[in-house]
Chains A and B, each alone.
Chain A
Amino acid sequence: MGSESNLVSTLRALAAQQGVEPTDEDLRGVLDFLERILPALAEIEERLPPEAAP
């Protein structure tokens, strides 16, 4: 993981590519959320049966 400021910069760039310009405070909140949900997402991805289709 990079430093928080690097991660916030990365998120800012991703948002900008979609035409959205959040504040750093907004992005720190998103970062907190992502740090909680991404490990859970990875765990679900690992456990998903391959035949599970959308």
Chain B
Amino acid sequence: MSLDPFNAFLHRVEAGGDWRVGVKDVIDVAGMPTTAASKVLERVPDRDAECVARLRTAGAAIAGKLNTHEFAFGALTNSPHFGPALNPWDPARTTGGSSGGSGAAVAAGLVDLALGTDTAGSIRIPAALCGVTGHRPTVGLVPVGGVVPVAWTLDAVGPLARTAAECRRALEIMAGRELPLEAPRRVGLVTRLFEGADPAVAAACEEAARALWPDAEPVVLPLHEEISTITQLVMLPEAAAVHLPWLRTRLADYGPDVRARALAGLLLPATAHVTGLRARSWVRSLWERELGDFDLLVAPAMPIVAPRLDAIPPDYRLLIMPYHSPAALLGLPVTVVPCGFVEGLPVALSLTGRAGEDGVALAAAEAFQRETDWHRFEPGGGELYTNPVSSDERG
């Protein structure tokens, strides 16, 4: 077994076979502990989560459980109990999170595929910062049985891999059906997210987007200023409800940031969640009216490259929420693809489809990866990666 210098795994086993799959440690694998990188939870389930069972039936060899932000409830993967996942492009930097072990394990070649979860960016952030491909599915596409929830109405389980084709293969197995691959007909560029990014990141993303979608139109997301707050109003009370039994008995065993978020959800007024749900309906109706003709929205996946672990910007969460909250709130599918480097660190595009149209985002990602090599670069200057799943494999 190769070394794990990036603290990607929390529990690791020898995996035979040629499809090594790592599983974020909020997803049950029979016979392996599920800790959610916490001190609070330690169960050894006797059955796989449904998504894992489906992959195993299709030939996956489970390689172990991957590091995560405590309870997948944060964007860094720096559990005080298990230590941070380290970014293979620069181990002094964060992987992002919460599926940081998943991003690191794929980037370092320790697995062929990793499962992550995404409530408000937790697949997309580490995919972007670790230079791999990730897909947040439409909410409900992949079963969440056997997965520790963050917020029931926002949670999605999805794949991270080197290529979009590999993500699609895994997603189709987990969803139990083929995803119609359709080229987008009308593409929008979310200009505010380019303008809000670090200029070098924005320039790399814009160059990549313009190369493949030269006719993309600038778009403005409805209520974009408010969407991050609305997402918090939905997510925090749901998370507090998930954690309430443990908040009563194990409060001191939580790390400070997760404890603070769970308590905030507990102590918001009762109307906050209802207002959040009503506002979600409002956003959805405006989105359908103003953006309903667009079947792909393109933006930087992150506004910055991976920050150093000892210099996380104080406003990190506020900075990144506008990039991830819209798809989280509306349950939309997003594929993240590497699209360049800034100072030797990966940057990425997010490709957001309409609800239920995961195949459009993935088709756009596969088209992008047929035209570019960004997804083939490996940390440490390794050889270019060869995709084992050809994009026309399905015939």
Q: Does B387 contact A (CB under 8 A)?
A: no
Interface residues on B, range: 20 to 34
Stretch at the interface among B62-70, B74-82, B228-236, B322-330: B228-236
Flag if B244 contacts A18 (CB, 8 Å).
Answer: yes
- Shortest Cβ distance from residue B287 to the other chain A in the assembled complex, whole angstroms: 13
Task: Determine the residue in chain A with the shortest Cβ distance to B274.
Answer: A54
Given the complex, which residues of B lie within 8 Å of A38, measured CB to CB? Answer: 269
Flag if B281 contacts A21 (CB, 8 Å).
Answer: no
When chains A and B are docked, how far (Å) is the Cα of A21 from the Cα of B259?
Answer: 12
Q: Does B275 contact A (CB under 8 A)?
A: yes
Q: Does B173 contact A (CB under 8 A)?
A: no
Q: Does B316 contact A (CB under 8 A)?
A: no
Given known pairs A26-B259, A44-B275, A48-B279, the reply for A18 and B266 (CB within 8 Å) is: yes
- Shortest Cβ distance from residue B206 to the other chain A in the assembled complex, whole angstroms: 30
When chains A and B are docked, how far (Å) is the Cα of A54 from the Cα of B275?
Answer: 8
Q: Does A1 contact B (CB under 8 A)?
A: no
Flag if B279 contacts A20 (CB, 8 Å).
Answer: no
**Which of A15, A18, A33, A34 neighbours the largest number of chain B CB atoms within 10 Å of its CB?**
A33
Given the complex, which residues of A lie within 8 Å of B280, measured CB to CB? Answer: 54
- Shortest Cβ distance from residue B253 to the other chain A in the assembled complex, whole angstroms: 13
Interface size on A, residues (CB 8 A): 25
When chains A and B are docked, how far (Å) is the Cα of A34 from the Cα of B233?
Answer: 11
Flag if A45 contacts B260 (CB, 8 Å).
Answer: no
Given the complex, which residues of B lie within 8 Å of A15, measured CB to CB? Answer: 263, 266-267
Q: Does B264 contact A (CB under 8 A)?
A: yes
Q: Does B272 contact A (CB under 8 A)?
A: yes
**Residues in B255-284 with C-beta less than 8 Å from chain A:** 259-260, 263-264, 266-269, 271-272, 274-275, 277-282
When chains A and B are docked, how far (Å) is the Cα of A26 from the Cα of B267?
Answer: 12
Q: Which residues of A contact B (CB under 8 A)?
A: 11, 14-15, 18-22, 26-27, 29-30, 33-34, 37-38, 40-41, 44-45, 48-49, 52-54
Q: Which residues of B contact A (CB under 8 A)?
A: 226, 229-230, 232-233, 244, 247-248, 251, 259-260, 263-264, 266-269, 271-272, 274-275, 277-282, 285
For the complex of A and B, the 3 pairs showing the least CB-CB separation, nearest first, are A54-B277, A19-B248, A52-B282
